[in-house]
Amino acid sequence: MKVTCNRALLTTAFQTVAGVVPTRTTKPVLQNVKFSAAAEGAVLMGTDQEVGVRVKIGEADVQEPGELLLPTARTLAILREIQGEAVRLESGHEEIWLRGDRAEYRLAYVDPAEFPDVSEFTATSFYTVPTALLKQLIRRTLFATDIESTRYALGGVLVDIRDDGLVLAATDTRRLAVARGQCAATGDVKIDNAWPVVPQKAMSLIERSLADSADPVCLALRNNDVLVKSGGTTIYARLLEGRFPRYQDVIPRDCQVRIDLIAASFHAAVRQAQIVTSDESRGVDFSFAPGLLTLLSQDVKIGQSRVELPISYDGAPIAITFDPRYVSDFLKVLDAEQQVILELTDPESAAVLRTDDGYTYIIMPLSKDR
């Protein structure tokens, strides 16, 4: 095999594929990235057998087609340091060569036939979602997953598509993030799995791989897996087994108090109050009074803090205690000027944070005897 690639494009593609390569595995071959070159171009592939990714490499000049395996960490180091605009890859029977300007590297040969196949996007029935929208929906839900949990399918993001509406939902039982948007169907889309849950690792990889593009993302949901195509990148993932909680039933319907806030100023106040917290005393008291929000936190070993924020609220005083990390997680994925509506019932009931573009976040309060 002989191929010449643009170094910058090859490095970017390799970094994307490297995101799925396992650091620990019982199959050492999976710690490599597969490079495949044919007349129509070159492709990089990586997989941990649960999640896989294929990335087409732009500006690849294929002189001789073929396949080879590249050790992930060492190849990334070479691509970052080697000089010149182009990198030449060549393989023989027992060795691999990477060459740039005034430097060349010979790497050990591993049989590419041992590497498992990574699915291509061949679906004829799928959904399309605007790239910027899908990226936003993933960012607004991914942080609420619980990768440590063995309960249900909490280690991933639920993808709920009905008619032309797309809902992503994630929960760790202490909070629930639900983000909504629009999508369109191509072909006769059918899926028997009514609650498809995409693993956190796959969703994170999808979010990172979505480039700024006017072209929509293609999403093919099947009974046991999902395929996502964005530009020259295709990501495959097995769906998580287990039942995802009915997120619609968790959202409170009749909140008694409504408070309007601005994301940037609210987030700044939460960050200030969070300074004087610890694992033992992680709660912050949020006290709402006419025209003023007061955040109180204290720790016997650290000290205490009092942060005030003027707000447009004229209702009866109400106080509730939150873990500030969970409030901050919601606010930091919003634009600075985003308007936020906080809905409360009482100090012991779940609170609701909403935006006007279909984003809903449920957070459980902490008890006073925390």
Q: 13-35 pLDDT, tens per residue?
A: 999 999 999 988 889 999 999 99
CATH superfamily ID and name for 2-114: DNA Polymerase III, subunit A, domain 2 (3.10.150.10)
Superfamily of chain region 126-248: DNA Polymerase III, subunit A, domain 2 (3.10.150.10)
Residue 308: CB atoms within 10 Å: 12
**How far does CA 244 lie from the centroid of its chain?**
18
Residue 67 has phi, psi (to 5 degrees) of -140, 150
pLDDT at position 370 is 47
Gap between the Cα atoms of 240 and 228, Å rounded: 16
Q: What is the DSSP string of 65-114?
A: -EEEEEEHHHHHHHHHH--SSEEEEEE-SSEEEEEETTEEEEEE---GGG
8-state DSSP, 36: E
Instruction: Give the CA distances from residue 311 to residues 260, 263, 269, 294, in Å, rounded to whole numbers and listed in that order.
Output: 7, 12, 12, 10
CA 290, 295, 298, 303 dihedral sign is negative
Domain 2-114 identical in fold to domain 253-363:
yes
| Residue 301 to residue 129: CA distance in whole angstroms | 50
The CA radius of gyration of the chain, in Å to the nearest whole number, is: 25
Q: Characterize the bridge pairing of strands 95-100 and 51-57.
A: unpaired
- Contact at 8 Å (CB) between 353 and 363? yes
For the chain, give every domain's residue range.
2-114, 126-248, 253-363
| Residue bearing tokens 């990198």 | 87
Query: Taking Cα atoms as reference points, which of 96, 93, 63 lies closest to residue 78?
Result: 96
Helix axes 200-209, 7-18, angle to 10 degrees: 160
Both tokens of 175, joined, read: 């909070």
Give the pLDDT confidence score for residue 368 in this predicted structure.
62
Q: Which CATH architecture has domain 253-363?
A: Roll (3.10)
What count of residues does the chain have?
370
Tens of pLDDT along the chain (370 residues) come to 999 999 999 999 999 999 999 988 889 999 999 999 998 899 999 999 999 999 999 889 999 999 999 999 999 999 999 999 999 999 987 899 999 999 999 999 999 999 999 999 999 999 999 999 999 999 999 999 998 876 668 999 999 998 769 999 999 999 999 999 999 999 988 877 778 999 999 999 999 988 777 789 999 998 899 999 999 999 999 999 888 989 999 999 888 899 999 999 999 999 999 998 887 778 999 999 999 999 999 887 888 999 999 999 999 999 999 999 999 999 999 999 999 999 999 999 999 999 999 999 999 999 865 4
Residue 350, phi then psi, degrees to nearest 5:
-60, 140
Give the DSSP letter string of 195-232: S-EEEHHHHHHHHHH--S-SSPEEEEE-SSEEEEEETT
Residue 185: count of CB within 10 angstroms of its CB:
13
Q: What is the pLDDT of residue 150?
A: 67
Strand partners, 242: none
Residue with tokens 């060569």: 97
